[in-house]
Structure 1
Amino acid sequence: MFGDCTRRLDALAARWNTTRTHVALAVVLVTLSRQTADGAAHVGTGGGRSLRLAFPPGLPLREAADRVARHLPGAPGPLTVVTPNPESDLPERIEVEVAPGADGGLALRGTCAPRQMDRLVHALRHPYGPGGTVRDVPVACPADEADLRTWEHAPAPMPATTLDRAFARIARAHPERVAVRLPDAPGTPPPTRRLTYGRAEAEASLLASALVRSGVQLGEPVIVECENPARAAIDLLAVLRAGAVCVPVGRASPERARQVAGLSGARWALCAPRSRAVWERHCRLPADPEGAPARDEPAVEGCLPRSDFTETAFLLVEDGPGLPVRARLSAHTAWTSAIAARIERIGRASTGVVAGGDPSSPAGLSAMWWAFACGATLRWLGSSDPLTVPRDTGAGPPDALFPPEGYGRLLDALDPDGCGEGIGAVVLTGAPCDGDLVKRHFARSPGTRLLAEFSGDRGPLPWTARELTPADAECRLLPNAGRPSDNVRLRVLDESGRSLPPGLIGEVCADGGALPYELLLRDGAMARSLTGHDLRSGRLGQLRADGSLELTGELPLG
């Protein structure tokens, strides 16, 4: 019974020249249509007729009530509503009836579960204005919202350190340990292809001091060209140690350099000598950090490090064909929290992390800081064909981290003996992977663990994670993306930005301390937040009863 809202329904019915029964039935059918695969209510009236009633989000509720009155005139009695949605846990067929109540109001009867009935009653009691639309109809009831709140992870401990200070601790304890290992090159002595923790720490301190003396301010963005992983590690550490914000980029064209400098507002850039002509048009380049300091000036500034774990560490610039340039800001705590969660899932990468591609890419940065947090060696693969995974006898197998497409290319390029038991675990990060990649992995390396991390914003900080098995090879696109990572809150939102309960499909969004906290777009000199506190994935999905995320497709463009 919902006689308490009859007066509001009567007012709308009078204004819209219809009956309160049809207004109420329109709200019920709109609510049920949200759980169908095609966004429409498939209604059987008991007389053999079957109607398909579509309710687009922008449709005025008045027109929705008119459609119901036109197609279901009179008192139709119980209606059978079919909700075909193979990805949903909700029932496929229910019977509902809106009828006069004994108290002069209206009564709602249905064969659905109590929770579903609560959703329908909550939607009927919602106060609608004369200009209300379909998107104003709530789908979740208060009990759903309470469940969603209980699913939010209790915040995991945030490591009270910064990326550069964690690196410095390892460098002091193990200065001769190799931090970055590049592929051996013909005619090049192997020691020159290895960067130790002690050397990286010393060179980063000198460069950080040069940045401070040059006038780099706390929190100021500094562009870092990441072409050589060893040089990139030193430059990124230096920028963080100076208390500035890293803007990592690959080798850039003049137009790309102009775009990145304009978006980030960076005054400074660190780059290779051959790229100076590109960047000096837009940024200042600091003095040579290896040059002699001024008289009576210490080689390393006593104020270092100036980083703080609560402050921003990275500004990641992203663009693509036909897309606006965007940038994500992330704090040290987001990175340290994400890395701690990965170590908890997989264990410490004690010997090394194998990676390749662009060091400034999300996967490249994620692999770098995972290795450094563990005091392990970042083993960067070259472009030789066929590829081989480097191994250290007696040290144990390294782990590997790649985006799904990058790991697929690695499997194509590896020589027949280049993988197998030579890898301890493989982490796929970023986009969801498909069953074919899972099948190829276990066919080649049946004893190697495979873990998938999903990042809805295609960034280096994962939203969800799960371990894959050979059984997952049967899925074309793995729908189960796993459970949220520590300090990440997942939400599935409808068109109006409201949270949907489990089983209902909407856009997958996320926020939390282990994710970027702002998304910027700059048009000329103007920057604004695109999504508020939520990061949007552009993907459709639903929450499952166990709190995991299931992906169902891409959000339609437009």
Structure 2
Amino acid sequence: MHTSFWAEIAARADATPKAEMMADDRGRRMTYGEYRTAAEKFAAHLAERGVREGTVVTWQLPTWIESVVVVGALARLGAVQNPVMPIYRERELAFVTGQAGSRLLIVPPVWRGFDYPEMAAAVAARTEGLDVMVLSGDLPDGDPALLPPPPAVPQSREQAPVRWYFYTSGTTADPKGARHTDATVLAAGIGMSDRIGCVPGDRVGLVFPFAHIGGCTTWLASSVVHGVAMILTEAFDPVATVELLRRERVTLAGAGTVFHQTYLAAQRRDPGTPLFPDVRCFPGGAAPKPPGLHAEVKKELGGAGIVAGWGLTEAPILTMAGPEDPDEALAAAEGRPNCGVRLRVVGPDGREVPPGGEGELRAKGPQVMLGYLDASLDAEAFDEDGWFRTGDLGRIDEGGNVYITGRLKDVIIRKGETISAKEIEDLLSAHPAVAEVAVVGLPDAATGERACAVVVASDPAAPPTLDALGEFLRGQGLMVQKLPERLEVVGVLPRNPAGKVLKKELKERYA
């Protein structure tokens, strides 16, 4: 029974203290034994600052070794961790820390041209009881001998306390906080790793933000449970990151369509030399796979090709493909349900559809969240029988393979990140040059989807420009990744008799 992150960290450090746990793009390395020691020292420092079991700590950090240590230290104390993506800006961060009841906000110094300490100070000034810590250089430490005993290990999943708040934009203007336990996130990582067949000696490329639920829990779980070493890059670079993975002899080269396309492009520049000679497979997910990508990856890069998974922040890694799956399934499906996961396909009438039919996918499983921080959202998230409504449309074939065919939710998925169309619409509607607006996601080969703002101008003779709208949104504190990348100005928005904007028609018109 896997119910405690710290228990898994300690068990791995006891079993293989000298085995390498991670390496980064600065040439640094850390073993499991060193990791436990570093986590305990930083935990002691945090304890001196008043962090206790149950204290909510928000951290917004790049993919650094120090970030992984922060997770271990907070797990040692039994704090409630609230990882926040580095792309969040003041608007989102203030909402998250306020709703979560955070008492400590950990941020980097100026990173990639953005002043995180300045933003954190602004957020703290409007959030009562919020302290700020800026991590720069070596982590501060304390005396581990002064630490209280580790939190008790829950004897069942049901007894596991909430230890994680993960926020997702979802379909509401404000982010939604999913409440997870160590047991739920460990179940996701272990289910994925078991399906892939992870073993000690595997080396995974952690090329997406560590603060994502797929990094700080899923792959960290794989590392401490299965002994998989992590190769960390603080920001993906098409040249430097590919060279890092090659040099570090990656065996699991993730983590999604845009990354796999980058690897293919690199291989095609030097077709005579295997790019990743030790690769076993290419884990993926978060964005649709273009037709034929799996076959190209398998033929040109080697290994088993793409092994994709599907899940949500609220229910991570519900399905996963394995290297032994047939190519036709690997090419089009998103894997099969992981251990303990049950799926239903439900039609518009709420009834389960016949086998092979399309409908909304609903799930039960050990990785499903306990609910949202805003409990009023739970009634919509779960049906009357307790099944989680994923909002994704799909079908399941006779072999159990899951095919995602669309979404019920009005969101845009850009590079695996969920963007609320309503949030952008709400902000743009306040622009004086905008009379009406609808935001839709359009297919994009590189990012999965791009946001397109379809606008009715207040003055048809002086319509707004894309740059002007982008500057306006940045002024509202919106993160850059949410800015519309396309603008269409129309005389009228198409609507049904009830007045609802026909977004499907807009998508078809501008795709």
With structure 1 as the length reference, what TM-score do the two structures score?
0.60
Matches within 5 A, 1:378-417: 378-381=230-233, 383=237, 385=239, 387-390=242-245, 398-413=251-266, 416=270, 417=273
Alignment partner of 2:350 out of 481, 484, 497:
497
1:330 corresponds to = 180
1:15 corresponds to = none
Q: Is the 8 A contact 1:240 1:307 kept in 2?
A: no
- 1:555 maps to amino acid: L
Q: In structure 2, how many angstroms separate the alpha carbons of the residues matched to 1:269 and 1:428?
A: 31
Q: Is the 8 A contact 2:57 2:81 kept in 1?
A: yes
- 1:370 maps to amino acid: S
Judging changes above 3 Å, is the alpha-carbon distance between structure 1 residues 292 and 551 closer, same or farther for their aligned structure 2 residues? Answer: closer
**Bigger Rg, which one:** 1
2:169 corresponds to = 319
- 1:248 Cα deviation (Å)? 1.0
1:142 corresponds to = none
SS, match of residue 285 in structure 2: strand
Q: CA RMSD in A?
A: 3.3
- 1:494 Cα deviation (Å)? 2.9
2:73 corresponds to = 238
2:460 corresponds to = none
The Cα offsets for residues 59-100 of structure 1, whole Å up to 9 and x where unpaired, read as xxxxxxxxxxxxxxxxxxxxxxxxxxxxxxxxxxxxxxxxxx
Q: Is the 8 A contact 2:363 2:388 kept in 1?
A: yes
Q: In structure 2, how many angstroms separate the alpha carbons of the residues matched to 1:470 and 1:546?
A: 13
Judging changes above 3 Å, is the alpha-carbon distance between structure 1 residues 178 and 391 closer, same or farther for their aligned structure 2 residues? Answer: farther
Alignment partner of 2:64 out of 206, 211, 229:
229
- 1:317 Cα deviation (Å)? 0.9
Matches within 5 A, 1:54-453: 159-184=1-26, 190=27, 193-251=28-86, 252-274=88-110, 275-280=116-121, 281=124, 282=127, 283-285=130-132, 290=140, 299-305=145-151, 308=154, 310-319=160-169, 323-351=173-201, 352-365=203-216, 366-381=218-233, 383=237, 385=239, 387-390=242-245, 398-413=251-266, 416=270, 417=273, 419-453=275-309
Q: Is the 8 A contact 1:253 1:278 kept in 2?
A: yes
- 1:528 Cα deviation (Å)? 5.5
- Whether 1:465 and 2:320 are equivalent positions in the alignment is yes
- 2:307 maps to amino acid: L
Q: Is the 8 A contact 1:175 1:198 kept in 2?
A: yes
Matches within 5 A, 1:36-47: none
The Cα offsets for residues 356-406 of structure 1, whole Å up to 9 and x where unpaired, read as 12111233333333223222320124526262254579xx85223302333
Matches within 5 A, 1:521-532: 521=374, 530-532=380-382
- 2:14 maps to amino acid: R
5+ unaligned residues in a row in structure 1: which ranges?
A: 1-158, 185-189
The Cα offsets for residues 38-57 of structure 1, whole Å up to 9 and x where unpaired, read as xxxxxxxxxxxxxxxxxxxx
SS, match of residue 423 in structure 1: coil
SS, match of residue 71 in structure 2: helix
Q: Is the 8 A contact 2:166 2:313 kept in 1?
A: no
- 1:407 Cα deviation (Å)? 2.6
- 1:301 maps to amino acid: L
- 1:555 Cα deviation (Å)? 2.9
Q: In structure 1, how many angstroms separate the alpha carbons of the residues matched to 2:395 and 2:251?
A: 35
SS, match of residue 373 in structure 1: helix
5+ unaligned residues in a row in structure 2: which ranges?
A: 111-115, 411-499, 501-511
- 1:507 Cα deviation (Å)? 1.0
Judging changes above 3 Å, is the alpha-carbon distance between structure 1 residues 285 and 307 closer, same or farther for their aligned structure 2 residues? Answer: farther
- 1:333 Cα deviation (Å)? 1.7
- 1:518 Cα deviation (Å)? 1.5
- 2:207 maps to amino acid: G
Aligned length: 379
SS, match of residue 163 in structure 2: strand
- 2:150 maps to amino acid: L
Judging changes above 3 Å, is the alpha-carbon distance between structure 1 residues 312 and 222 closer, same or farther for their aligned structure 2 residues? Answer: same
- 1:539 maps to amino acid: D
Q: Is the 8 A contact 2:58 2:102 kept in 1?
A: yes
Q: In structure 2, how many angstroms separate the alpha carbons of the residues matched to 1:431 and 1:311?
A: 31
- 1:321 Cα deviation (Å)? 9.3
1:107 corresponds to = none
With structure 2 as the length reference, what TM-score do the two structures score?
0.65
SS, match of residue 254 in structure 2: strand
- 1:490 maps to amino acid: L
Judging changes above 3 Å, is the alpha-carbon distance between structure 1 residues 170 and 263 closer, same or farther for their aligned structure 2 residues? Answer: same
SS, match of residue 105 in structure 2: strand
2:477 corresponds to = none
Q: Is the 8 A contact 1:506 1:542 kept in 2?
A: yes
- 1:500 Cα deviation (Å)? 3.2
Deviates more, 1:441-450 or 1:257-266: 441-450
- 2:32 maps to amino acid: Y
Q: Is the 8 A contact 2:205 2:250 kept in 1?
A: no
Judging changes above 3 Å, is the alpha-carbon distance between structure 1 residues 389 and 529 closer, same or farther for their aligned structure 2 residues? Answer: farther
1:36 corresponds to = none
SS, match of residue 166 in structure 2: strand
Q: In structure 2, how many angstroms separate the alpha carbons of the residues matched to 1:287 and 1:391?
A: 32
SS, match of residue 176 in structure 1: coil
**Identity within the alignment, %:** 20
The ranges of structure 1 where at least 4 consecutive aligned residues each deviate by more than 6 angstroms after the TM superposition are 286-289
Q: Is the 8 A contact 2:44 2:141 kept in 1?
A: no
Q: Is the 8 A contact 1:235 1:270 kept in 2?
A: no
Q: Is the 8 A contact 1:210 1:287 kept in 2?
A: no
- 1:445 Cα deviation (Å)? 2.3
Q: In structure 2, how many angstroms separate the alpha carbons of the residues matched to 1:542 and 1:321?
A: 22
Q: Is the 8 A contact 2:344 2:352 kept in 1?
A: yes
The Cα offsets for residues 208-239 of structure 1, whole Å up to 9 and x where unpaired, read as 23334433343343112231331111111111
- 1:460 Cα deviation (Å)? 7.4
- 1:554 maps to amino acid: R
Deviates more, 1:300-309 or 1:327-336: 300-309
Q: In structure 2, how many angstroms separate the alpha carbons of the residues matched to 1:316 and 1:452?
A: 22
SS, match of residue 316 in structure 2: coil
Judging changes above 3 Å, is the alpha-carbon distance between structure 1 residues 448 and 504 closer, same or farther for their aligned structure 2 residues? Answer: closer
Q: Is the 8 A contact 2:92 2:175 kept in 1?
A: no
